[in-house]
Structure 1
Amino acid sequence: MAEPPTFFADGVMEATVRHGVARLTLAVQDGSGKPAPTGLLVVPLAQLPTLAGSITRLLREVETKAREAQAQQKPEQAEALPEAPAAFRFEG
C-alpha cells in the first residue's frame, strides 16, 4: 500500500462547515511569517468530535510525558521547560 500524503501544518487558516462536512485549510508560516495554505483536511461533521477527541488525547499524552521528563531532571534543570519525547506512538 502506498504511503499517504504528509502535510505539515502549524495552524488552521480557515475552517468551514458545509453540507455536513467540516473543511479545515491547514497552514504554515511562509518566510515572512504570513500563513500559507498547505493542505485541506475534510472531515464528516459527525466524525469531527472523534477527531478532536483524538487530538486532545494526544496533547494530554505529550503533556504527561513532558511532566515525567521534568520530574526526572535534576532540581537545577527543572526551571527550564522540558521537551516532549522526540517520538512515541499514540493509537487513538
Structure 2
Amino acid sequence: MPEIPTLFADGVLEATVRHGVARLTLAVQDGNGKPSATGLLVVPLAQLPAMAGSISRLMREVEAKARDVQAAAQAPEPAAPEAPAAFRFGG
C-alpha cells in the first residue's frame, strides 16, 4: 500500500466552493493559539454531504462511548452476593 500523507488539523482556516469543488484549508494552532495552514482538503461538492455525514457519525460514536465510560465510572461497585440466610426446597 502506498504511503499517504498524514495531516494534523485542529480547525478549518477557510472553506470555499468553486467550480463544484469544496476546498477546506485545514489549520493547526501554534503555541500562541494562532492558526496556521497545515493542508488543503479538496472534495467534490457532490461528496461533501457523505463526508460530513461520516464525520458526524464518528462524533456520535465517540460521544456515546464517552457516556458509557462516564456511566461505568459513576456506577457503584456491585456488592459481593451474600449467602442466603435460609434455603427452601420443594414445597
Q: How does the TM-score come out when normalised to structure 2? A: 0.79
Q: Within 1, Cα distance between the matches of 2:75 and 2:57? A: 29
SS state at 1:13 partner: strand
* Structure with max Cα Rg: 2
Give the corresponding residue for 2:2: 2
SS state at 2:8 partner: coil
Structure 2 unmatched runs, 5+: 77-91
What amino acid is the match of 1:10? Answer: D
Give the corresponding residue for 1:40: 40
Q: Does 1:51 align with 2:51?
A: yes
Cα deviation for residue 74 of structure 1 reads: 3.3
How large is the Cα RMSD of the aligned pairs? 1.3
Give the corresponding residue for 1:72: 72
Report sequence identity in percent: 75
Structure 1 unmatched runs, 5+: 77-92
Cα deviation for residue 38 of structure 1 reads: 0.3
- The count of corresponding residues between Structure 1 and Structure 2 is 76
Q: Within 1, Cα distance between the matches of 2:74 and 2:31? A: 38
